[in-house]
């Protein structure tokens, strides 16, 4: 039985009704109908997931944004169930999973191709994609943003973070960075595919050192797109567990959402998430 | 001879300092400061600005920086002009460019004699 948890978030009522109609018709067309419930102020994702477990649901589908999917995965908390995702907005995770829009997502659910993905966990919070700190994250209109004077100025004035970490309980590292990423998976069209495999049981850590003004301007596209490995002077290490020891209080984000602060322990739990993926998945 | 790796899997940039045992199954490129031990089953490249105070184990190695420690390499080692090695080297093949400094013992595997049937 399918259990769809719909989280309309920023959608207007009119837009939501349009999306809902499309969702119902697609579910029916691909014969994946089930119970559809909506997140409200009184019915949180946690409560809805618990309801689903009580009813013996076998497949839970997050319908909404990446935050909806992350909230759903955290509510599941490692329990054995198949997860699906129907993105209502532009989504990096959707692209990683090979899911583009509502119709195609419903078709994918119908095909039911299941992959076992690694899950990153930071201070008890699970994540599928990547954790970042420091640097600003890419905008969707990246082409225009790289010529944006205010953005360039903010890149030039980024504060330096004196970071200290312990990796796999084997070695300690320290350096001055302007930002970094701890990657389980990411949507990288032209970047190194080895850094984005969510089935390799490894977290890839990219750290960007402080650059000269000229180097910052020259490599702003790579910085804004998160392809830090293409920025000269960046470090790349691969770990199963990393503890960020210093500085204290450094916000760790998934997208624009802060989910933890340092000191934090980030680990990978291999092949924990059973999720429905499309044939165009990136791994 | 080992070739400098174009796309190494682990990169320790010049601003990074590592203390402990760095292990990898992929290639490693080090431009920073490392003390402890470095172990890879693939290729190791030490950049000209690197300062290593560690024993190094790799399949192939290209050394351009300062290494204080023993170097154990299964296949080939190349010491570049900027290399400074204080320690022993054990390897299959050794190449030393003019200008490199090496102080220590070197032990190489004896080449296998091919049987000549003529």
Q: What DSSP string describes A98-159?
A: T--SHHHHHHHHHHT-EEEEEEEEETTEEESSEEEESSPPPPTTHHHHTT-HHHHHHHHTPP
Domain spans of chain B, in order of start: 10-98
Average pLDDT over residues A220-249: 89
* B36/A175 Cβ within 8 A: no
Residues 6+ apart with CB under 8 A from B84: B65, B66, B67, B100, B101
Could you give the domains of chain A? 2-112 (3.40.50.10330), 125-270 (2.60.200.40)
Percent of chain A whose pLDDT exceeds 90: 65
Q: In which band, very low, low, confident or very high, does the pLDDT at A227 lie, cut at 50, 70 and 90?
A: confident
- Lowest mean pLDDT of A140-144, A171-175, B95-99, name the range: A140-144
Among the partner-chain residues A170, A174, A236, the one whose CB lies closest to the CB of B11 is A236
Provide the mean pLDDT of chain A. Answer: 89
What digits encode the pLDDT tens for the residues A95-148? 999 998 999 999 999 999 999 999 999 988 999 999 999 876 554 444 446 567
ipTM field: 0.87
> Which pLDDT does position A147 carry in this prediction?
65
Helix (H, G, I), strand (E, B) or coil at B8: coil
Burial B30-59 (b: 16+ CB within 10 A, else e): bbbbbbbbbbbebbbbbbeebbbebbbbbb
> Which pLDDT does position B72 carry in this prediction?
97
Alpha carbon distance A237, A175 (integer Å): 13
> Which pLDDT does position A12 carry in this prediction?
87
Average pLDDT over residues B31-49: 96
DSSP label at residue A249: T
How many Cα atoms are found within 13 Å in the side-chain-facing hemisphere of A129?
23
Q: Give the A:B interface size as CB pairs under 8 Å.
A: 57
- Lowest mean pLDDT of A47-61, A223-237, A258-272, B13-27, name the range: A223-237
> Which pLDDT does position A252 carry in this prediction?
95
* A235/B32 Cβ within 8 A: yes
Average pLDDT over residues A137-165: 72
A15 or B6, which is more confident: A15
Among the partner-chain residues B10, B13, B21, the one whose CB lies closest to the CB of A233 is B13
Burial A233-252 (b: 16+ CB within 10 A, else e): bbbbbbbbebbbbeeeebeb
A151 or A82, which is more confident: A82
* A174/B13 Cβ within 8 A: no
> Which pLDDT does position A41 carry in this prediction?
86
**A73 is written with which tokens?**
């995965």
Sign of the Cα pseudo-torsion (A12, A17, A18, A22, in order): positive
Spatial CA neighbour of A262 closest among A278, A275, A277, A251: A251
Q: In which band, very low, low, confident or very high, does the pLDDT at A226 lie, cut at 50, 70 and 90?
A: confident
Average pLDDT over residues A170-182: 94
**A234 is written with which tokens?**
């960046």
* A170/B21 Cβ within 8 A: yes
Alpha carbon distance B105, A228 (integer Å): 40
Q: Which of A120-129, A152-161, A184-193 has the highest mean pLDDT?
A: A120-129
């Amino acid at each position: 039985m399918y259990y769809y948890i719909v989280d309309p978030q920023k959608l207007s009522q009119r837009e939501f009704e349009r999306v809902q109609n499309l969702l119902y018709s697609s579910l029916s067309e691909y014969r994946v109908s089930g119970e559809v419930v909506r997140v409200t102020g009184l019915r949180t994702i946690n409560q809805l997931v618990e309801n689903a477990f009580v009813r013996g649901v076998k497949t839970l589908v997050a319908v909404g944004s990446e935050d909806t999917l992350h909230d759903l995965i955290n509510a599941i908390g490692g329990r054995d169930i198949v997860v699906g995702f129907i993105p209502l907005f532009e989504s990096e995770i959707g692209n990683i999973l090979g899911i583009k829009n509502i119709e195609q997502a419903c078709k994918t659910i119908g095909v039911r191709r299941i992959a076992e993905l690694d899950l990153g966990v930071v201070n008890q919070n699970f994540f599928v994609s990547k954790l970042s700190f420091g640097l600003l994250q890419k905008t969707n209109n990246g082409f225009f943003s790289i010529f944006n004077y205010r953005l360039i100025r903010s890149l030039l004035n980024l504060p330096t973070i004196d970071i200290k970490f312990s990796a796999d309980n084997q070695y300690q590292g320290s350096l001055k960075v302007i930002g970094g990423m701890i990657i389980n998976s990411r949507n990288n069209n032209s970047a190194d595919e080895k850094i984005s495999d969510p089935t390799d049981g490894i977290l890839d850590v990219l750290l960007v050192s402080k650059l000269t003004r000229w180097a910052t301007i020259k490599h702003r596209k790579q910085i804004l797109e998160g392809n830090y490995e293409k920025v000269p002077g960046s470090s790349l290490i691969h770990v199963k567990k990393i503890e960020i020891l210093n500085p204290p209080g450094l916000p760790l984000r998934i997208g624009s959402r802060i989910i933890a602060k340092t000191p934090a322990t980030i680990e990978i739990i291999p092949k924990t998430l059973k999720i429905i993926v499309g044939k165009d998945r990136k791994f | 001879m080992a070739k400098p790796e174009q796309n190494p899997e682990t990169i320790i940039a010049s601003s990074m300092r590592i203390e402990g045992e760095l292990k990898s199954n992929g290639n490693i490129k080090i431009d920073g400061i490392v003390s402890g031990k470095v172990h890879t089953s693939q290729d190791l490249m030490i950049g000209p600005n690197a300062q290593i105070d560690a024993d190094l184990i790799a399949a192939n190695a290209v050394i351009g920086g300062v290494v204080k420690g023993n170097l154990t390499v299964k296949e080939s080692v190349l010491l570049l002009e900027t290399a400074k090695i204080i320690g022993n080297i054990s390897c299959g093949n050794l190449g030393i460019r003019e200008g490199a400094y090496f102080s220590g013992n070197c032990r190489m595997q004896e080449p296998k004699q091919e049987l000549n049937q003529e």
